Amino acid sequence: MSELTRTETDQTRLLPQAGLRGVAADFASDQRAFKNVSWGKAMMWIFLLSDTFIFGCFLLAYMTARMSTPVPWPNPSEVFALNIGGQEVPLILIAIMTFILISSSGTMAMAVNFGYRRERGKTAALMFLTAALGASFVGMQAFEWTKLISEGVRPWENPWGAAQFGSSFFMITGFHGTHVTFGVIFLLIIGRKVLRGDLETGRRGFFTSRKGNYEIVEIMGLYWHFVDLVWVFIFAFFYLW
């Protein structure tokens, strides 16, 4: 088949069809839309879309609880303050956590860039650095949880006002922290595979793509950027409001 004939055939397939075939073609349009997208990347986008709905429901539930409760809501600047040098510094720990997580997005973006250049040493190093930043974030979140629990915050009560504060805090930050923790684990796994050269040799195993294909690094980057973006909304709605 000549190139011209092949092009005409492809164009004919994309033309609207009548009757039942047209209905079937409309329902199968996603197959054409994702024809040049790998299954790994498409599935990650679908997963992130579903996760967006979950986080959205959590934040909506939090806003509803906060606006509907007749009991005063605790002041985040007081609840999340740290005593440094005998003075209460509001939201200092949260600011550091946010800076660390946003910085990790930059290191992850650079890892993806070097991955497509097939510079596996730099790619692995940046993935490990991203994992270290993520682990630091989780460690600070654990410290924050420990501090609030020691001050009497529980999912059903807290000493500063509305009882819904504790359940909202632990549910939203805990769910996000779980995402960060899993991200750190997968970053370490994929970073090790990159460093060993598994993506260059096509060595068989979990999370190993086709030989010479660093797309798995980009897929990991999509997940990590999503986790960072969600934190921006949590920071705005939970800590600044």
The whole-angstrom distance between residue 140's C-alpha and the CA centroid of its chain comes to: 18
Q: Which of 89, 76, 9, 40 is nearest to 217 (CA)?
A: 40
Residue 147's Cβ-side half-sphere holds a number of Cα atoms within 13 Å equal to 13
Paired residues of 180 in beta bridges = none
> Would you give per-residue pLDDT tens digits along the chain (241 residues)?
444 444 444 444 444 455 566 555 555 544 555 566 677 888 899 999 999 999 999 999 999 998 988 888 888 888 888 888 878 888 899 999 999 999 999 999 999 999 888 888 999 999 999 999 999 999 999 999 999 999 888 888 888 888 889 999 999 999 999 999 999 999 999 999 988 887 777 666 666 656 657 888 999 999 999 999 999 999 998 888 8
Paired residues of 83 in beta bridges = 88
Paired residues of 87 in beta bridges = 84
- Tell me the per-residue pLDDT of 143-161, one tens digit each, with 9 for 90 and over: 999 999 998 888 888 888 8
Note the pLDDT of residue 27.
Answer: 52
Q: Which residues make Cβ contacts (< 8 Å) with residue 165, sequence separation at least 6?
A: 73, 74, 79, 153, 158
Residues 221, 143, single domain; the answer is yes
pTM of the model: 0.81
Residues 64, 80, single domain; the answer is yes
Q: Which of 235, 236, 4 is nearest to 97 (CA)?
A: 235
Note the pLDDT of residue 158.
Answer: 85
Helix 120-150, helix 215-234: angle, nearest 10: 30
Residues 31, 104, single domain; the answer is no
Residues 52, 145, single domain; the answer is yes
Which ranges in the chain belong to alpha helices (H)? 3-14, 19-27, 29-33, 39-68, 76-79, 92-116, 120-150, 164-196, 198-201, 215-234
Note the pLDDT of residue 22.
Answer: 57
Residues 32, 50, single domain; the answer is no
Please name the residue that has the structure tokens 């730099």.
122
| Alpha carbon distance 125, 135 (integer Å) | 15
Note the pLDDT of residue 89.
Answer: 86
179: helix, coil or strand? helix
| Alpha carbon distance 157, 149 (integer Å) | 11
Residues 43, 79, single domain; the answer is yes
Note the pLDDT of residue 4.
Answer: 43
Residues 15, 109, single domain; the answer is no
Residues 11, 85, single domain; the answer is no
Contact 199, 212 (CB under 8 A): yes
| Alpha carbon distance 24, 109 (integer Å) | 39
Residues 58, 8, single domain; the answer is no
Paired residues of 90 in beta bridges = 81
Note the pLDDT of residue 129.
Answer: 97
Q: Which domain holds residue 151?
A: 38-239
Residues 105, 182, single domain; the answer is yes
